[in-house]
Structure 1
Amino acid sequence: MNQQLKVHGSLFLVALIYGANYSIAKEVMPAYVQPYGLILLRVSGAVLFFWAVSLLRTKEQIQGWADWRRVILCGFFGIALNQLTFFGGLNLTSPINASLIMTITPIVVLIMSAVLLREKVQKQRIGGILLACVGAFLLIYGKTDAKSQGNTLGDILILINATSYGIYLVLVKPLMQRYKAITVVSRVFLVGFLGVLPFGLPQLGTPDYAAFPVHVWAAIAFMIIGVTIMAYLLNAWALTYASPSLLGVYIYLQPVLAILIAVGLGKDVFTWQKAVFALMIFGGVYLVSRPARKRAVPA
């Protein structure tokens, strides 16, 4: 099979997995498992898998307190806070609202890069930040349609989730440059596991697991194996061959697939107001993601 076809296939499958996750997670929570219990199931499976791979493939260790401190921060922002706010928010709001708000992550990365890494922000990107923020604000608070299935608190939690993930992406970059990806991810997930354990453990013991129908077990397996493990591995492989612009296209595809799946399964309704707010968010993210034009140098 052609290499480029494999790359496109992998990125599309990742987008499909993430897009489906919004609706599939709603099948499980809160009717069968509460959100924090579901997080603990997912993170536990990921910790076991990534540590097993790490022990088999490398003996590399994180060196020094400075790097361990960064690992702890990555575990907090990238796993603990990220997962608690995502599943807590998705439990309250609609799949469509959640998927649209998550697209502001590149904007958070730009802002955090400017704050933490002192990177310059061009005027074009400032305009994109403002446009996307207005779109997100209207999506959260502009419930003008009676059919809207969003929830303000849930939307705010998803916004915190997107922000925490953006912070994580900035924090983890130096670690990824110094160590192998599996070394970093296994340690980050372990810290995240310790962070979600106090919240998830009380909810993990309450469900009647013997009464779960097959489709619920399948949904849980999808979230552990598909969303956490398979999507990561596919993304990591594809990113070794894909350009940043190609990755951006598939990031935009995620909410589109999420909307189609949510509407198809009857989990949400896509209104014209959401379409307008989505265009504002997409437009803002596009302006932020587009490379700045280089000024012409006089001869």
Structure 2
Amino acid sequence: MKNSAKVHAALFLVSLIYAANYSLSKDVMPTYMGPFGIVTLRIVGAALFFAAASRLVAPQDRLIGRADNVRAIICGVTGIGVNQLLFFSGLNYTSPINASLLQTIAPIVVVLASAVLLGEKITLTRVLGIGVGAVGAATIILSRDAGGLAYPNATLGNILILLNATAFGVYLVLVTPLMRKYHPFTVLARIFLVGAFVAVPFGWRETLATDYAGFPTYIWAEIVYMVVCLTILAYLLNNWALKYASPALLGVYIYLQPVLAVIIAVALGKDHFTPARAGQALLIFTGVWLVSRKPKPASQSTELPIPFEPVQD
């Protein structure tokens, strides 16, 4: 298989893994396990894996200096602990389609966070994209039929997902310098460790109170999927693909993820797609497209990273 085909295969599989999670998680929550319990299992499992991987792959690599260590702690809090707690709490209340569409605004948050934290200039095109994307997100959150009878607390869930995307966008801006300076496993081991300290106090009761003996086989399979595929496999595939994929190609797969999430949710009977949601998706996609457009050549050196690897989800 040619390298380009492998990159497409890896990015597609990552999109599929994330997209399926929106529907599969609904089987587990809240009947078999609460959202905080799932977060605890996932973060602790990933923390153990990346700690072992960093020792094997980059045993001499260590975070150096107070600034980098503080940055790693902030990344662990925002990108792992808070991000995961918000995502699964929000998904527990809202529908898979709403959650997948709202998560797509992460590139917009990256632009805003870079302007605030790094002093990056925002072009007129990106201002327009931020506005259009914000309108799309607002229509989802405020829609009267956002949840219906199936999701009576959908508005709260939508807000939590929006906050989740915001936390992840801030995380992406903060973690980029660390990823460029150290081995990825070194960074991931540290931030997942910090994330575990954030998540475990919220989720340990749900984790211990869960009746694991009563899990059907398919629930066990979905738990393993969320711990292994969603966190570890998706990261490994995505991290490899990012070495070869262009920003334009990553942009295509940003849009593909919610499309796959819609198809899976409808096929499994977890949600339904309406003309109103199509309009909301168009607004968000247009906003993300405008924000993700390359700046003029003079400012290409400060081009913002296009987020594709949600640590949520």
TM-score (norm 1): 0.96
Provide the residue aligned with 2:271 in structure 1: 268
Q: How does 1:81-230 map to 2 (within 5 A)?
A: 81-144=82-145, 151-230=154-233
* C-alpha deviation, 1:173, in angstroms: 1.0
Q: Does 1:37 align with 2:40?
A: no
CA contact (8 A) 1:86 1:161 kept: yes
Change (3 A) 1:291 1:148: farther
User: C-alpha deviations, 1:118-138, integer Å up to 9, x for none?
Assistant: 111000110000000011001
Task: For residue 104 of structure 2, give the secondary structure of its aligned residue in structure 1.
Answer: helix
Q: Structure 1: how far apart are the matches of 2:256 and 2:128?
A: 23
Q: How does 1:216-295 map to 2 (within 5 A)?
A: 216-293=219-296
Cα root mean square deviation, aligned: 1.4
* Gapped regions of structure 2 (runs ≥ 5): 299-313
The answer on whether the counterparts of 2:147 and 2:155 sit within 8 Å (CA) in structure 1 is no
Distance 1:71 1:200 in 2: 22
Query: What is the rounded CA distance, in whole Å, between the counterparts of 2:150 and 2:276 in structure 1?
Result: 12
CA deviation map 1:42-76 (0-9, x unaligned): 11110111111101111211111111110010001
Deviations along 1:208-230, one digit per CA (max 9) or x if unpaired, are 11110000000000001100000
CA deviation after TM superposition for structure 1 residue 167, in Å: 0.2
Alpha carbons 1:33, 1:207 under 8 Å: kept: yes
Change in CA separation of 1:24 and 1:144 when aligned onto 2, cut-off 3 Å:
closer
Q: Quick one: distance in 2 between partners of 1:41 and 1:10?
A: 25
In structure 2, give the amino acid aligned to 1:127: L
Distance between the aligned counterparts of 2:47 and 2:133, measured in 1?
34
Q: Which residue of 2 aligns with 1:73?
A: 74
Q: TM-score, normalised by structure 2?
A: 0.92
Give the conservation status (yes or no) of the 8 Å contact 1:149–1:268.
no
Render the CA deviation track for 1:82-136: whole Å, top value 9, x for unaligned: 0000000000000000000000000000000011111110001100000000110
Q: Could you list the per-position Cα deviations for residues 239-287 of structure 1 after superposition, in whole angstroms to 9, with x for gaps in the alignment?
A: 1111011011001100000000000000001111111011000000000
CA distance in 1, matches of 2:222, 2:69: 34
Checking the alignment, whether the CA contact within 8 Å between 2:107 and 2:169 is kept in structure 1 is yes
Q: Which has the higher mean CA deviation after the structures are superposed, 202-211 or 91-100?
A: 202-211
**Contact kept in structure 1, 2:146 and 2:155, CA below 8 Å:** no
Q: Which region of structure 1 is more displaced relative to structure 2, 233-242 or 138-147?
A: 138-147
Give the C-alpha shift of residue 143 in structure 1: 2.1
SS of the residue aligned with 1:154? helix
